[in-house]
Structure 1
Amino acid sequence: MARARTRAARSTVSKGAKIISAIIDNPRFFRAGKGRGVKPKVVTIRFDSKMSKKDFRTKADSLLRLSREGKLRKTPVKRDPQITRNYRGATIRKLAGRHRGNRAEQRRIAQKFSGRTSANRAGDGLDPDHVHELQLGGRDHADNLRWMDAYTNRTIGSQIAGQLRGVPDGTPVIIRVLGY
């Protein structure tokens, strides 16, 4: 049985309580993982000692941000290889243009950005990376691309793809990061 109140009720509510109650009442605050009654899929990406730590952190931070904003959903990949090819070519032309007359440096740049490396460890080459992964609802557009270590990019992409295999399209995705 409840005790009888001996003091008068508080006439004001503290600032912190107002802020927290406003956040809890705001449905956009808890957007990640909400969606049409579908249970979200938690995808874990792991740091590997062969990866570039800087590139892994950058990618993990951007995926965590998108996850918090509720923008990650499993979608079928619609890739136009011409967009990546143009982005790669423009970068090679721009950097090689800075080294006119230095054939060795131009060759090194072309090799580093060619995408034809085996990418067995960090530093083997660079790939254009989709900041918002295509398999998680990102656009295939040059604005969504940035350069990233090829090994790190391919490893993170395969980790995500492996965990999304068999998950229905439209399922919300929450990102979890281990090891950085």
Structure 2
Amino acid sequence: MPSRAPKSSKKRGGAGKPKVGKGVRAAVKKAAAKPVVRNNDLPEVTIKVQRKSFHARGQFDRKMNALKKLSDEGKLFKQANPVGRDKKITADYKKRIRQKIFDKYWPHDKKMANALAARLRKQQPDHVWELQLGGADDVSNLKLLHGRTNWDVGGQIWHQIKNLPDGTPIRIEVVG
């Protein structure tokens, strides 16, 4: 019987998986360890978020009202990219909501439980105070938001701030 190489050595068409050196790991860890703060010496930049027809209107309005309030309070600024985050926080948040649905409705109202679970699949845990604008990666900063709306709003913001210096004060304006 022929011997086989370990599966890990056969990734990517026979090429071994590239290794990340200690220097790269240390640089990423160091960058993530120093959070950026708002730099009021930099000029404030107004970014415009456009409402689109596919946005879940109520959820979009809730998200933008929260960002506008933070903007008016002078709390928004461009955070360093990539933003340090723990994906487990958002995954666990969504799991807890799903579990609450089934705890409440299963087995006495299976139809309702399944309908709410199906609706939940289209939702994403959203950082109300965007991480890229200085928000915390914490459960207290999460709300469910329509997935496509979440991606679009975050993308619109990112495209307008990506080349700004870290710490740049940000003002939000909704258009359309």
Report the counterpart of residue 67 of structure 2 in structure 1.
Answer: 63
Q: 1:47 to 1:96 in 2, by over 3 A?
A: same
1:75 maps to amino acid:
Q
Offset at residue 147 of structure 1 (A):
1.2
Displacement of 1:113: 2.4
Structure 2 counterpart of 1:84, which letter? T
1:172 matched to which residue of 2? 169
Q: How does 1:144-155 map to 2 (within 5 A)?
A: 144-155=141-152
1:85-134 Cα deviation digits (max 9, x unpaired): 111010000011222125554444434324xxxxxxxxxx1111111100
Deviations 1:18-77 (A, max 9, x none): xxxxxxxxxxxxxxx9812x1122110010011111111111111111011100010021
- Answer yes or no: is the 8 Å Cα contact 1:96–1:109 preserved in 2: no
2:40 to 35, 40, 44: 35
The amino acid of 2:54's aligned partner reads: K
TM-score (norm 2): 0.71
AA aligned opposite 1:167:
L
CA distance in 2, matches of 1:106, 1:153: 24
When structure 1 is superposed on structure 2, of 149-158 and 94-103 the one drifting more is 94-103
Which residue of the other structure, out of 87, 93, 97, is the alignment partner of 2:93? 87
Letter in 1 for 2:138: H
Q: Distance in 2 between matches of 1:42 and 1:135?
A: 15
Q: Secondary structure at the match of 1:177?
A: strand
Identity %: 34
Of structures 1 and 2, the larger Rg is shown by: 1
Q: How does 1:4-43 map to 2 (within 5 A)?
A: 35-36=40-41, 38-43=42-47
Instruction: Give the SS at the match of 1:174.
Output: strand
- Between stretches 50-59 and 82-91, larger displacement belongs to 50-59
1:112-168 deviations in Å (ceiling 9; x for gaps):
324xxxxxxxxxx11111111000000000000011111211111110011112111
- Contact 1:75/1:134 (8 A) holds in 2: yes
Q: How many residues were matched structurally? A: 136
Q: In 2, are the aligned partners of 1:40 and 1:173 still within 8 Å (CA)?
A: yes
Name the SS of the counterpart of 1:98 in structure 2.
helix
Partner residue of 1:112 out of 113, 119, 139: 119
1 or 2, which has the higher helix percentage? 2
TM-score, structure 1 normalization? 0.70
Measured on the aligned residues, the alpha-carbon RMSD in Å equals 1.8
